Amino acid sequence: QVQLVESGGGSVQPGESLTLSCTASSTMLYHYNIGWFRQAPGKEREGVSCMSARDSGRLVYADSVKGRFTISRDNVKNTVYLRMTSLRPDDTAIYYCARANGRECQIREDEYRYWGLGTQVSVSA
């Protein structure tokens, strides 16, 4: 059973930073495309960022987070991170990580089979 677990969410003020973590049991994240998605209240879930498997080097970011968010992976810790800086109120959402097969990652939900339960990020003054 593949389980992904997100952590690191919280409540911050605009301009502050958070780092989310995605860890896994029964799977090595290195071998899969890993994506971060978010769902704000009353909105559909949207793709935020993804990292392709192994040493592809491919990183994808949604336009809304380019230059502010950074995805990375620690293979020893089997953890994928989403470093979020200059947070804005419209970044408020539940953030999910997900795992996909495939050659190059895309931030499209239908490519991801396994999902975590999410972690809440709230940004307000």
Q: Alpha-carbon distance 88 to 83, whole Å?
A: 14
Residues 6+ apart with CB under 8 A from 45: 37, 38, 39, 96, 109
Q: What percent of the chain is modeled with pLDDT above 90?
A: 91
Q: Mind listing the pLDDT tens digit for each residue in 62-83?
A: 999 999 999 999 999 999 999 9
User: According to the model, what pLDDT value does residue 25 have?
Assistant: 84
Residues 6+ apart with CB under 8 A from 111: 33, 35, 100, 102, 105
Average pLDDT value for the chain? 96
Lowest mean pLDDT among 1-5, 19-23, 42-46, 86-90: 1-5
Q: Identify the sign of the CA torsion 26, 7, 108, 29.
A: negative
Res 31 pLDDT > 90: yes
